[in-house]
Amino acid sequence: MLTLTRLPDWDRRLARVVNQHSRTPGEWGVSDCLLTVMDAVATITGIDPAEDIRGTYKTEIGAARILRKRGFADVEQALASLFPPVATLRAQRGDVGVVERNGALSCGFVCDRGFAVKGERGLSFVPQTEIKSAFKVG
């Protein structure tokens, strides 16, 4: 489990990540849901937990292989290995979690617009009540 501290200006930094990823389409290994969450974590804390996997895969199958190689069945297990759990309705801006979409888990983060999840066209925002599990960042 990581011990991270939020930077003093984390809230402004997170707003920039939201703006950037709102306009950036999803792309495996570059801007998928997990890497978007890790971009948020990196900007909030200054530490990128996904530094070693960036650019190492280009497909959904490749992403699944990376997770399995590290002993995780899905993104929920990967996040749970890095961050302590928090009740979904107590998750605050900058905290991360997962939602179930179209029968699959997608990870995202809490921001001022709701729970941000990366999709093909950029970020979409769902109500916090849809979060399946949440994890505390910093």
* Complete domains list, the chain, with CATH: 10-135 (3.90.1720)
Task: State the pLDDT at residue 1.
Answer: 83
Task: State the pLDDT at residue 42.
Answer: 97
Least-confidence region, from 1-5, 14-18, 51-55, 95-99 = 1-5
Q: Which two tokens stand for residue 103?
A: 């029968």
Residue 125 has pLDDT above 90, yes or no: yes
Residue 40 has pLDDT above 90, yes or no: yes
Of residues 70, 78, 85, 64, the one with CA closest to residue 136: 85
Task: State the pLDDT at residue 3.
Answer: 85
Residue 2 has pLDDT above 90, yes or no: no
Q: What is the DSSP letter of 61?
A: H
Residues in Cβ contact with 41 at an 8 Å cutoff, skipping those fewer than 6 apart: 4, 47, 48, 49, 96, 109, 137
The string of pLDDT tens digits covering residues 73-123 is: 999 999 999 999 999 999 999 999 999 988 899 999 999 999 999 999 999
High-pLDDT (> 90) share of the chain, %:
95
Residues in Cβ contact with 39 at an 8 Å cutoff, skipping those fewer than 6 apart: 17, 20, 21, 48
